[in-house]
Structure 1
Amino acid sequence: MNWDRIEGNWKQVKGTVKEKWGKLTDDDLTTIDGKRDQLEGKLQDRYGYTRDQVKKDVDDWLRSSS
Structure 2
Amino acid sequence: MSWPIALIVTAVTAVAVKTAGLYNRLAGRRNAVENAFSTIDVPLKQPCDLVPRVVAAVQGDMQYV
TM-score of Structure 1 vs Structure 2, range by shorter chain? under 0.3
Work out which of the two has the higher radius of gyration on C-alpha atoms and give 1 or 2.
2
Instruction: Flag the structure with higher helix content.
Output: 2
- Give the TM-score of the pair, scaled to structure 1: 0.26
Which of the pair has the greater relative contact order for Cα pairs under 8 Å at 6+ separation?
1
- Normalising by structure 2, we get a TM-score of 0.26
